[in-house]
A and B are shown apart, each in its own frame.
Chain A
Amino acid sequence: KNQVEQSPQSLIILEGKNCTLQCNYTVSPFSNLRWYKQDTGRGPVSLTIMTFSENTKSNGRYTATLDADTKQSSLHITASQLSDSASYICVVSSYNAGNMLTFGGGTRLMVKP
């Protein structure tokens, strides 16, 4: 069964600090892995998309890594800001069933001043 597990479930950090969110998956055959940011009351917004051959991708202060061998990904947030407070969702796409998406449970990040 395809699964995506994220850790931690929630995290509180001080403004200006860095943090790393983890994602482990058992999705096969693997197509791509995405990280989304979901603000409260909003729909998810894409941060990065990585295919099998990519092991790192950045979007501003967000850097995602992918290790396709160990089936792990991380999202690193640098110099956090209050606006980074949101849920971060790891989503893995499979070539099966028309690029079916498997969603992780998300990490709820709170950045405090």
Chain B
Amino acid sequence: SAVISQKPSRDICQRGTSLTIQCQVDSQVTMMFWYRQQPGQSLTLIATANQGSEATYESGFVIDKFPISRPNLTFSTLTVSNMSPEDSSIYLCSVSKGGTYEQYFGPGTRLTVT
């Protein structure tokens, strides 16, 4: 299994500012994922972050708005830049472990933009 922690757990931010969300895993993993979950909705994949390479972004998400770092096999950050109220969501970090289909999710970061 994998235990994932995220910081902060929640934040209220002003329009136009940026927030960096941290994701820490208790074991080394190759693939890390960042998801967004808007109120009352299911999860949408933002990007896949592999260590040692640039993150791969899904349609509708761009690096300038959601820069991602992946400095090692247990840590990643997602920055939400130049925030607007439409960015108010829960942001979840997720990892998969090689050799299994299991995917584990962090507790999420609840972001409110005013």
Contact = CB atoms under 8 A, between A and B. Distances in A.
Interface string B73-109: 0000000000000000000101010000111111110
A106 B107 contact: no
Given A89-B42, A103-B43, A45 B105 contact: yes
B95 to A, nearest CB: 11
Task: Identify whether the interface residues of A are mostly helix, strand, loop, or mixed.
Answer: strand
Task: Identify whether the interface residues of B are mostly helix, strand, loop, or mixed.
Answer: strand
A49 interface: yes
Interface of B: 4, 41-45, 48, 92, 94, 96, 101-108, 110
18 contacts: A31-B101, A34-B101, A41-B107, A41-B108, A43-B107, A44-B92, A45-B105, A46-B103, A46-B104, A51-B101, A89-B42, A93-B101, A98-B48, A99-B101, A100-B45, A101-B45, A103-B44, A105-B41
